[in-house]
Amino acid sequence: MVKFDTIRETTREPARAPDLQTTSLPVKVQVERFSFYYGAVRVLHEITLSFPRNQVTALIGPSGCGKTTLLRAINRMNDLIPDTRAEGRILLDGENIYDPQVDVVRLRRRVGMVFQRSNPFPKTIFENVAYGLRVNGLVRNRRELQERVEESLRQAALWDEVKDRLHESALALSGGQQQRLCIARALAVRPEVLLLDEPASALDPIATEKIEELIAELKRHYTIIIVTHNMQQAARVSDYTAFLWMGHLVEFNQTEKLFTVPREKLTEDYLTGRFG
């Protein structure tokens, strides 16, 4: 509670969720008074936030602010960490994903994820992309499988680079190619939401640029939520930005507005590099 008082002092007025009505965008993921605990430590404090459909929303904030935890809450990846607890609701198309009846496996098919460090399976390039299709039984025959793999690799802008060596190990690819392969793998099961956890943090500038172009391309079909602590990247790729600080949502707005005329002093301080 001490922490919360600090934030009040610095921000002059209480943090609030923006009014999405003004943008008239349909909401894909709605976070409502969501809190998260590692053991007794509360790392997210009653976050309320709407992620608009077919838009790119960036989560920014200093290390340890809870942005990755929030991201991983949306496909319930945090369930894997023992001794954690969630409070509040996260609605996907109006349905609470923390409802006990929810099938987590099905949820994760609808909400795909790309991780900070590329993590291709030690299988061939083809098998990496085919994996999600196989385990979910999404294709009926070999031809359909091949079509979906090609389609996914094209979407991830990787097809031309790998089409002649689909049956070689994915681990022989470069770092940037591996990360795009992971995106292709996530796209193959045709998720509705795509979670990206600092997808370019381990990549060189050219590979990063490719990933960013890709994100802009993908938002036509997917709702994208991206965690980054690179503020230029957030400004470049996202339509909306949420700024988190010590587990609190400080400000959420259209990226352009948040970066040019931040409402909160804390946001301004962070953006101008006074901390973080």
Partner 1 sequence: MREGRDAREERRRRWIDRWAHRVIFLLSLTAIVTIVLIFIFIFREALPILTDPEIQREASLRHFFHPMEGPDLASRYMWQPVALVPKYSLIPLILGTLKTTLVALGIAAPLAVAAALYTSEFAPSRIRELIKPAIELLAGIPSVVLGFFALIVLATWMHRLFGFETRLNAITAGTALALALIPIIYTVSEDALNAVPQSLREASLALGATRWQTATRVVLPAALPGVFASLVLGFGRAVGETMIVLMASGNAAITSWRFTDSVRTLAATIAAELGEVVFGSPHYHVLFFIGALLFVVTFAVNSAGVYIIHRVQRRLRGEV
**Interface ranges with partner 1 (CB under 8 A):** 75, 77, 80, 82, 105-106, 108-109, 112-113, 115, 117, 119-123, 131-132, 134-136, 168-173, 182, 185-186, 189
| Cβ at position 49, least distance to partner 1 in Å | 21
Q: Please list, in sequence order, all residues whose beta carbon lies within 8 angstroms of the beta carbon of residue 79, skipping any fewer than 6 positions away.
A: 104
| Cβ at position 97, least distance to partner 1 in Å | 14
Considering the complex, state which of residue 77 and residue 266 has its C-beta at the smaller distance from partner 1. 77
Considering the complex, state which of residue 16 and residue 134 has its C-beta at the smaller distance from partner 1. 134
| Cβ at position 68, least distance to partner 1 in Å | 12
Q: Please list, in sequence order, all residues whose beta carbon lies within 8 angstroms of the beta carbon of residue 55, skipping any fewer than 6 positions away.
A: 25, 219, 223, 224, 239, 240
Considering the complex, state which of residue 78 and residue 253 has its C-beta at the smaller distance from partner 1. 78
Considering the complex, state which of residue 116 and residue 254 has its C-beta at the smaller distance from partner 1. 116
Considering the complex, state which of residue 109 and residue 148 has its C-beta at the smaller distance from partner 1. 109
| Cβ at position 198, least distance to partner 1 in Å | 13
Q: Please list, in sequence order, all residues whose beta carbon lies within 8 angstroms of the beta carbon of residue 48, skipping any fewer than 6 positions away.
A: 17, 31, 32, 33, 34, 249
| Cβ at position 65, least distance to partner 1 in Å | 21
- The stretches of the chain forming alpha helices (DSSP H) are 2-11, 67-74, 104-110, 125-135, 142-155, 159-162, 175-188, 205-218, 231-237, 255-260, 265-271
Distance CA 224, CA 195 (A): 6
| Cβ at position 51, least distance to partner 1 in Å | 18
Distance CA 84, CA 78 (A): 8
List the 41-52 sheet strands across, edge first.
41-52, 27-38, 84-92, 95-96
Q: From the centroid of its chain, how far is CA 42?
A: 21
Helix axes of 175-188 and 142-155: crossing angle, nearest 10 degrees: 130
- Check: CB of residue 82 under 8 Å from CB of residue 151: no
Considering the complex, state which of residue 100 and residue 122 has its C-beta at the smaller distance from partner 1. 122
